[in-house]
Amino acid sequence: MSKSRSLIGNLFLLVVVLTATLFTAEIVWKIAVASGDIGRQFDEKLRFVNPPNTEWTIKQKEYETHIRTNSLGFRGPEMPPVPKSDDELRVLFLGDSFVVAKQVEEEERFVEKTEVALAEALDRPVVTRGLGIGGANPALHLLYYREIGKDFDPDVVVQVLFPENDLMPLEGPYSFREDGDALVVENVWVEPQPACNWKCGLLKKSSILRLTYQALRGKNDDASASELLGDYYWYTTEGQMALATQKRWQVLSALVTQLHDEVVWDGGTFIVMLMPSALEMQKTWQEEYLSNDQPYLWDFWQIDQLLSRAKYVLEEEGMIVLDLRTAFAEAVTDEEPLYYKTDPHLSVRGHDVVVEALSGTVEDLL
């Protein structure tokens, strides 16, 4: 009996010590290692948003930024009241993490800088707002416009597409009808909040447990190219064949066309802005990746074809498409990259190049 009690006592003490150690390690991790970013929260109309009316600081090796959200959970100031003044120009951005741009300060984003550039060029009041959430996709862009953007009464709507992760499967939180070879959107909705069991709950609360779990799982030696490469798979010949077979181009076309039609119906001008990846634009980084960090030969890749195909598909539907690659190619250098290397989103200089290209396009359209 005494041995049994001793064993239970030792096990209890072990659990207490492990819990205290993990708790202490989490605190040290958050202070010394973690970036300081905070998670999104579920929204019944928009799926996920940032915590509303919140401020926090992100610290990474290449940057430190202050983030604030408005009452809707999007980065930046509140949406302005309507109606707007007669001479006021309003520009709305829809997109994902490239619109949120947590890697730069708010006033350094192309959202805010476009406002300044257009106001100076047009000599009239300009108001810009960004509805972007990390991980958003063209179906969510449509919901953002319907739920919030339309009430902003924008004169120009810029949908920022990043084809690397915006090419969605045929099955999703949307439905289509067929019109010849094309798809037409019938409905778009918000998926229910994903269930989270006890293991999920632990991994969400503890960064150390999550990293340990991922390390223990390791890599699957039998994994396919799509599993090994993730979103980079779409830059390969095999991946681009899969895009066509899976009708992902038709899905993109249908969702963007629906958004375009609703914006035009409401009296706005619609622009699709194609965002290139660091893998394509930073050639030295590309060479490093293809030479060292992946198992496939160079002829397995067709990196420049992904955006080219996206531009072709959307222009075939009559869209105004701004392919940023031309502007980026003229500006990019190894000494002044347009992206951060450890977090391949736009640097401050990258945002400046976007502003110059976009403001010129908007001026030409007005």
CATH number at residue 198: 3.40.50.1110
The band of 163, judged by pLDDT with boundaries at 50, 70 and 90, is very high
Q: Compute φ and ψ for 265, nearest 5 degrees.
A: -60, -35
User: What's the predicted TM-score (pTM) here?
Assistant: 0.89
Per-residue model confidence (pLDDT) at position 282: 97
Q: Residue 10 contacts by C-beta under 8 Å, 6 or more apart in sequence? A: none
Across all residues in the chain, what is the average pLDDT? Answer: 88
Q: Residue 252 contacts by C-beta under 8 Å, 6 or more apart in sequence? A: 138, 161, 163, 166, 167, 168, 310, 313, 314
Q: Do both 4 and 140 map to the same domain?
A: no
Q: Do both 255 and 110 map to the same domain?
A: yes
Q: Do both 8 and 134 map to the same domain?
A: no
The DSSP 8-state label assigned to residue 295 in this structure reads S
Q: Do both 188 and 225 map to the same domain?
A: yes
Q: Do both 22 and 108 map to the same domain?
A: no
Q: Do both 188 and 245 map to the same domain?
A: yes
- pLDDT above 50 (res 153): yes
- For the segment 287-344, what is each residue's pLDDT rounded down to a tens digit? 999 887 778 888 899 999 999 999 999 999 999 999 999 999 999 998 999 999 999 9
Tally of domains in the chain: 2
Q: Do both 173 and 252 map to the same domain?
A: yes
- For the segment 114-125, what is each residue's pLDDT rounded down to a tens digit? 999 999 999 999
- pLDDT above 90 (res 206): no
- pLDDT above 90 (res 219): no
Q: Do both 78 and 94 map to the same domain?
A: yes
Per-residue model confidence (pLDDT) at position 83: 86
Return the axis-axis angle of helices 110-122 and 348-365, rounded to nearest 10°: 40
Both tokens assigned to 12? 């209890």
Q: Do both 28 and 50 map to the same domain?
A: no
Q: Do both 125 and 11 map to the same domain?
A: no
Q: Please state, as a whole number, how many other Cβ atoms lie within 10 Å of the Cβ of residue 35.
A: 17
Q: DSSP string covering 163-224, please?
A: HHHH---SSBSEEEEEETTEEEEEEE-PPPPPP--HHHHHHHH-HHHHHHHHHHH---TT--
Q: How many residues are there in the chain?
A: 366
- pLDDT above 60 (res 20): no
Q: 311: domain range?
A: 37-365
**Among the listed residues 211, 235, 210, 233, the one whose alpha carbon sits nearest the alpha carbon of residue 223:** 233
Rounded to whole angstroms, how far apart are CA atoms 234 and 43?
A: 30
Q: Do both 185 and 330 map to the same domain?
A: yes
More confident site: 39 or 262? 262
Return the axis-axis angle of helices 207-217 and 198-205, rounded to nearest 10°: 110
- With H, G, I as helix, E, B as strand and everything else as coil, classify residue 315: helix
Q: Do both 126 and 71 map to the same domain?
A: yes
The DSSP 8-state label assigned to residue 37 in this structure reads -
